[in-house]
Amino acid sequence: MKITKIDVKMVFAYWRNWLFVQVYTDQGLVGLGEGTLRSREHAVAGAIEDMSRVLVGQDAFQIQSHWQTLYRDFHNRGGVVLMTALSALEIALWDILGQAAGLPVYQLLGGKLRQEARAYSNGWFEGARNVEELARMAQESVSQGFTALKWNPFAGAGDGWMSPQDARKAVQQVQAVRQAVGEDVELLLEAHGLFAPAMALRMAEQLAPFRPFFLEEPVPPEDCEAIAWVRQRSPVAIAAGERLYTRYEFNRLLAVRGVDIVQPDPQHCGGIFELRTIAAMAETTYTSFAPHNSSSPLGTAACLQVDACTPNFVIQELPVGDVPWRDEILEPHIETLHGGCLPIPDRPGLGVRLNEKVANQHPYQNPDLSSLAPGSTPDQEKLARKLRAKPA
């Protein structure tokens, strides 16, 4: 089966543009992949165009051969732009292979270990102006079926440190959400790499009484030894990996016992097979696996295929709160919760198709985040609330 054409489509979704790639074949099958990279989508599209000149005319089934060619033969390896482009194409090729075989991708990776994947909500807090609203919105998310919630309570951490006042506010947020949702809902705390190691440890110690499930990316991603230093001393489990690419960078992190939970993103780390490889590497050090996923439902579809067949999988990120038509961008809809979990799709390939009509209704835009910032003015606040996704 030969690759005949590769197209890129950008779809504006609130604060970034989703980037979809469609790989066409001479037998009519079309593979769908995603390479969303906020504010760098044109760079990714250009890299995909360059890689397409290598792939068009080739056998669509030779996924590993194409991956090695595109990774090694461009001389300048790695980096978020090249790896995002490569990941998008690789995901689309797995979709083609699954369709051709009449099997979901997880069957091609060894078969299913679970029927569903536990999910946590990220984005549920959009528009909260104070601690009271945050607590109420947390309760709303639980009423929608979520049993785990993630957010960043660390406003003010701009230079690696937080003032005593901002640190108290972070603790008050976590305490309020814990009291609002009770003891049976997991709280996951996102730090976006904002802290110096000592500050990260200080915050972990202050937040430990509220039993966070994990503290995500407490220090910048460049220094694996720094995150290992935090993890060895933290009373809270440490997660990281969304800004690491390929098994080689994760090997450094795992070698120093840097995290309790790895979070590779299939759209950036190298695609589906690389995601599964990183998870297997983590398994050898008893490190859990929770894929990062902050883009469209196609990112969720790719993650679920690996979640299904991975022994050390623990929980799956599920974005909410971006656009009210999120459910409609793919056919069929796959992000419906049942008991706090996402069912594993059983259709061939990734099991979804791009809804071209909906995609065409939301063409590329350069997002003006300042005009959508919650709380700036009443009109902007109203718009931010309107843009929240429908309940899962």
Please pick, among 42, 192, 333, 362, the residue that the annotation labels catalytic.
Answer: 192
Task: Give the number of C-alpha atoms closer than 13 A to the C-alpha of residue 272, restricted to the C-beta side.
Answer: 36
208 near 235, Cβ under 8 Å? yes
Residues 213, 215, 221, 225, CA torsion sign: negative
Q: Are 24 and 58 within 8 A, CB to CB?
A: no
Is 333 annotated in the active site?
Answer: no
What is each CA distance from 308 to 72, 106, 345, in whole angstroms?
30, 6, 9
**Residue among 246, 189, 245, 247 nearest 218 (CA):** 189
Contact indicator for 349, 298 with CB cutoff of 8 Å: no
Contact 21, 49 (CB under 8 A): no
Locate all alpha helices (DSSP H) within the chain, ordered by sequence.
41-55, 63-72, 80-101, 105-108, 131-143, 164-181, 197-207, 224-233, 246-255, 266-269, 272-283, 297-308, 356-360, 378-386
Phi then psi for 35, rounded to 5 degrees? Answer: -140, 55
Q: Is 42 a catalytic residue?
A: no
What is the distance between the alpha carbons of residues 387 and 14, in angstroms, rounded to a whole number? 7
Active-site position among 42, 66, 292, 362: 292
Catalytic residues: 192, 292
